[in-house]
Amino acid sequence: MSDDRGGNTFLAFLLGGLTGAALALLYAPRSGRETREMLNEKLREGAERGKDLREQAREKGKAFMDEASEYVDRGREVVEDRKGRLAAAFDAGRQAYREEKDKSKS
């Protein structure tokens, strides 16, 4: 029963929308040609706005990727620096161990 009620509601909504659109066209203060021209102009404006927004989003995305790339590169530099320091400390510790081992044998 609820499925039938939902279908009736959708049908009523659709018919109401179509009736409203038909009445709007019948009582429009402009002629059909003027209305079409206005609608076409609005569509062109919307398309231009969409292109502008797409370009802005592309530029912001590129800037974000460039910035992220800089952070990644800096992170790699820091890791390489720390890796070199750790390797040097490890080698120094190994050398100290060997020297102490050699002293204890003598």
pTM above 0.95, yes or no: no
Q: Is 82 helix (H, G, I), strand (E, B) or coil?
A: helix
Distance CA 50, CA 57 (A): 10
- Six-digit token string for 105: 């044998």
Retrieve residue 77's tokens.
């530099």
pLDDT at 4: 57
User: If the chain, 106 residues long, is cut into consecutive pieces of 10 residues, what is the mean pLDDT of each piece?
Assistant: 65 86 75 80 90 93 94 94 94 91 80
pLDDT at 61: 93
- Burial code (b: 16+ CB inside 10 Å, e: under 16) for 35-44 equals eeeeeeeeee
pLDDT at 1: 46
